[in-house]
Amino acid sequence: GMWTIGAIGMWGNQMGQYATLYALAKLNGHPGYIMSDMHNLSRYFKLNLPVIHNDVFRKIQWRHYELHDWMEEEYKHIKGDYVKLGTYPCSWTFYHHIRDEILKEFTFHDLLVEENQSSKCRRLAMGKKVTFVGVHVRRGDYVHVMPNVWKGAIGDKAYFEQAMDYFRKKHNLPIILCTHYGAYFKNKNWQGKKNRKLRASNM
């Protein structure tokens, strides 16, 4: 048999889906296979799960199994040799028990690491030992999905300030790199800030 998971959403969504498939397939004693739509992750990471060919995928009668966004006891006993997991699982509760294995799956390719060493980010360090902190300001559909579907709150200016202050206190020389969906958020929140180790770029 084989297990797989639907490849939907952007890069971060698919990382969560990959990790969940890896963990649940292993927990239930089945080999995990990623769909070709998720194979894009292998451009960046040293993934170990094999890819299922589209022709093979279409011939299989899958059992579709929808997941919540958090681990449930019943997920340790999912029945079926050919299971296709679904939705947007991204909770650490699915795979915290094999954290080291998941981190190994998301190891960047050596070439990308080497390129990063000579990149603009490294030049910002000016030879000093710094800590890079990545911040993704999620907007787009998230503004509507978070309060209406997940019943959560949208991170506002105060939230980001508090989060960045946490890393400024934790690390001696942090360089915070911010990616976002457009110039509006940057212009409204970051312009005129002095002594802020922040670099912002459009996505």
Percent above pLDDT 90 for the chain? 50
Query: What are the structure tokens assigned to 117, written together?
Result: 């060493």
Structural domain includes residue 114: no
Q: Note down the domain range covering 44.
A: 2-108
Residue 137 lies in a domain: yes
Q: Is the pLDDT of residue 105 over 90?
A: yes
Count Cβ atoms below 10 Å from residue 178 Cβ, excluding itself. 19
Q: Is residue 49 part of a domain?
A: yes
Q: How far is 16 from 129, CA to CA, in rounded Å?
A: 31
Please indicate, yes or no, if residue 60 is contained in any of the structural domains.
yes
Same domain, 7 and 85: yes
Q: What confidence tens digit (pLDDT) does each residue in 58-86 have?
A: 999 999 999 998 999 999 999 999 999 99
Encoded amino acid at 63, one letter: R
The answer to whether residue 113 is domain-embedded is no
- pLDDT over 70 at 199, yes or no: no
57 part of a folded domain? yes
This prediction has a pTM of 0.77
Q: Reply yes or no on whether the pLDDT at 87 is more than 70.
A: yes
